Structure 1
Amino acid sequence: MLQKVVQDAIDEQVSSGREVAVQVAVYRDGELIVDAVAGPATSSTLFYTWSMGKAMTATLVHRLVSRGALGYSTPIAEVWPEFGARDKSGVTLRHVLQHTAGVPGIGATTTVADVCDWDLICRRIADSELWWEPGTQVGYHAYTFGYILGEVCRRASGKPLGTLLREEIGDPLGVADDLWFGMPASEQHRLAPLVDPPPPPGMSFELPPDSPMARASSLELWPTAALGNRPDVLAADIPAGGKMNARAIARLYASLIGEVDGVRLLSPGTIEAIQADTFAGTDQVFGNPARFGLGFALSRLGDENSDALAWGGMGGTFGYADPSTGIAFAYCKNLQTMDFENATEIINLVNG
């Protein structure tokens, strides 16, 4: 039975010291078939999973597009006029969803307090200059993906992003208390504290000041336990990241590719568009090969040729939906490792 196989595997990950607390949830054809947890957590515990939250942001955008509030070719400046400054009037919603907008950075001097200030960051992004001509290069928009799309959603709907998340995703799926951008202080006790592993002996991490990664954001904003456990960060709407548990985000992914208890969030036509409207190339920020559809990375750990809709988060978390198999998967954890080996191990078990 897959539940036992996965449970045994994550128990071993924890007992061996490779992980501290882990959740795994798997849906197949809209049915929850795995709900496993190991370490000091329950299935209801929440984790700050960093960029796994981009799945929530992208889903909100697609739902607004499906209702005609936005279009993939809509210029961002049409909804957010200030964004058009410094020759950015040609940036479209499609460019942002595919990480080809040419606006990947929030600035090397940006502080933690800054990223907790929505209006401040949006003003800075609106006043920023292009790194490349939109649609010609790809580069991971680690923070700006969320702020740009979040501000567009806010202006198009007239509602704060947290309200949209609850109304468009949380309430329909019955997981409104398990998916968050900004998390009230009264709910933060539900989070498993993030844990940093000890650094390898003699290792130090520095970036040349002129490197793309250093230009994009400061090391102060590098995802670490110290950053992710801060109450102000947890309370802030940072829609390139999210707080969640595995059951809730797997349920979201399952509802993208099929019905879950009668609820389907995106149409088959939207899923086809996400997979077909792609951009691939060398990432201009991180230097790795990258392939993005509309709002999702198109790949799966263990199968780079997959067209699964996916997002991983710093620290080794991962979630995806694969229309070809009907599987929706989530792996949440709190030990901030720099790889996805443990998530890949479980995904390989799930896919047999």
Structure 2
Amino acid sequence: MTGIETRCVTPGYEPVALAFAEIISSYGGGASACVYVDGEPVFDAWGGLADSRTGRPWSADTLTVIFSCTKGLMSLLAARLVEEGRLDCDLPVTAYWPEYAAAGKQDTSVRDLLSHRAGLSAPGTSLTVDDIVDWERMTALLAAQAPLWSPGTGHSYHFITHGWLIGEVLRRVTGQSIGALFAETIANRLAVPAWIGLPAGKQPLVARIDVGESFEIGTDTFIRESSDWIGRGLTLGGALPPTLASPTGGFNDPRLQAAPIPGAGGIANARALARIWSAAVTETDGVRLLADETIRRATVPQSSGAPVFHEPEPWMAWGTGFQIDSPARRYLTPHGFGHDGAGGQVTFAEPQLRLSFAFVTNQMEEADPRAQALVDALRTVPEIRRRIESCFVS
């Protein structure tokens, strides 16, 4: 196991550093974690192995697949277009994507897509890797597919289809590919190493994903205890392994890393993600991504409670795209918003605290306590405790 390196540990944040050290010493693989407050980094650390096969250490520049944290980035893009008056979430999808009217989906709203109420949580046919790296193929298939339930009447997590659904709407609105839109709107403005569709020259920086035994067992149990549609949605009808990665396949495949798969395929490190989420709630490096009122509207609860297709509790909750505080994902306050990802990734922002948090790892574990341990440690920092307490003062 390699040691821990830090770029900053602001005085008072030592409990977070201790929690991170415990994570690195207790688990395989590697990780990075970063916290911003008032637009500045207060904690930034990394450690462990980027590749367990070769012993390559996790460095300051190591990147990793962030899985469904990518949905949070897509939700930021959508919210920004709403703020600019270019996207109306209450309009039907067909206002931007006419072909989507097929098979009785003409009344589906953009908000339905973002809040997992579209009825297309899984493909209606078995797919291959060749299919899912082809944007036009995937969006055409989803546009033609009949919904699995009446759109807007209930929710079920759109594991990976979510990205193509909202992504095609954003592409139609802007005329840009999702990778280009994300780069122009967010990544380049903040000068962060984050992509939806990895450039070829960056692949050597990407950590190799390892699937922990707990994740393998937990995923198998989850699929067996859930609706058949859950398994189909997670694997895209067999295109992906249930654990989303294998030694050479799934999201370890350079083809998937290079493809724009905005439901699960973003690649970044914790520093990049913390800076992005910081800019969502407070000016960071001269950039503010969303206004307070935009955040308020986008985090009004849209989907919570029991999903259409059975899956074990606890259940997640969403606003308009953003994952909001719920029994399945606790933030520092009820006002936190962001998105987590398979195997342990967690990103979020706290508008009232002017804080952002990111933890990413290449060691996939189930019912993962790592990010929560960091969040719990963050609660003990005197400055953060004071800010949290002030949120509840009437």
TM range (shorter): over 0.9
1:224 aligns with 2:245: yes
Match of residue 390 from structure 2: none
The correspondence for 1:42, drawn from 55, 59, 68, is: 59
State whether residues 214 and 365 of structure 2, in contact with CA within 8 Å, keep that contact through their aligned partners in structure 1: no
The one of 329, 340, 349 equivalent to 2:368 is: 340
Residue correspondence of structure 1 range 1-352 to structure 2 within 5 A: 1-16=11-26, 18-39=27-48, 40-107=57-124, 109-175=126-192, 178-198=193-213, 205=220, 207=223, 211-216=228-233, 217-221=236-240, 222=242, 223-225=244-246, 226-241=249-264, 242-285=266-309, 287=311, 288=313, 289-299=315-325, 301-302=329-330, 306-352=334-380
- Backbone CA RMSD of aligned residues: 2.3
- Corresponding residue SS for 2:256: helix
Contact 1:321 1:328 in 2 (8 A): yes
Query: What's the counterpart of residue 51 of structure 2?
Result: none
Q: Identity, % of aligned pairs?
A: 30
Aligned-pair CA distance for 1:212? 2.1
Structure 1 counterpart SS, 2:69 = helix
Distance 1:341 1:210, change over 3 A: closer
CA deviation profile, 1:298-350 (whole Å, cap 9, x unmatched): 01744597231121111111011112322210001000112221111011111
Q: What SS does the aligned partner of 1:109 have?
A: coil
Q: 1:153-193, CA deviations, whole angstroms, 9 ceiling, x for partnerless residues?
A: 11111111111111100122121xx1111112221111111
TM-score norm. by structure 2 comes to 0.83
Distance in 2 between residues matched to 1:99 and 1:275, nearest whole Å: 14
How far the C-alpha of 1:19 sits from its partner, in A, is 3.6
Give me the whole-angstrom Cα distance separating, in 1, the residues matched to 2:170 and 2:217. 45
Report the CA distance shift for 1:26/1:210 in structure 2 as closer, same or farther (over 3 A).
Answer: closer
> Structure 1, unaligned stretches of length 5 or more?
none
User: What is the DSSP-based 3-state SS (H/G/I as helix, E as strand, rest coil) of the residue aligned with 1:228?
Assistant: coil
Sort the Cα spacing of 1:136 and 1:186 in 2 relative to 1 into closer, same or farther, 3 A.
same
Alignment-mate amino acid for residue 303 of structure 2: F
Which amino acid counterpart does residue 20 of structure 2 have in structure 1?
Answer: I
1:212–1:286 Cα contact (<8 Å) kept: no
1:195 CA displacement: 1.1
Paired with 1:20 and 1:299, the residues of 2 have a C-alpha distance of 28
Identify the residue that residue 384 of structure 2 maps to in structure 1: none
Are the aligned partners of 1:212 and 1:284 in contact in 2 as well (CA < 8 Å)?
Answer: no
- Cα separation, partners in 2 of 1:132 and 1:2, compared to 1, 3 Å: farther
Is the 1:146–1:239 contact (alpha carbons within 8 Å) kept by the matching residues of 2?
A: yes
* Length-normalised TM-score, structure 1: 0.92
Question: Hey, what's the Cα distance between the residues in 2 that align with 1:90 and 1:319?
Answer: 32
Alpha-carbon distance change, 2 to 189 in structure 1, aligned in 2, over 3 angstroms:
farther
Task: Look up the SS of the partner of 1:205 in the other structure.
Answer: helix
Shift of 1:113: 2.1
Check whether the contact 2:72–2:323 (CA below 8 A) recurs between aligned residues.
no
**Whole-Å Cα distance in 1 between the matches of residues 216 and 147 of structure 2?**
39
Work out the CA distance in 2 between the residues paired with 1:202 and 1:76.
38
SS at match of 2:299: helix
What is the CA distance between 1:4 and its match in structure 2? Answer: 3.6
How far is the alpha carbon of 1:260 from its aligned partner? 0.7
Q: Name stretches of at least 5 consecutive residues in structure 2 with no aligned partner.
A: 1-10, 49-56, 381-394
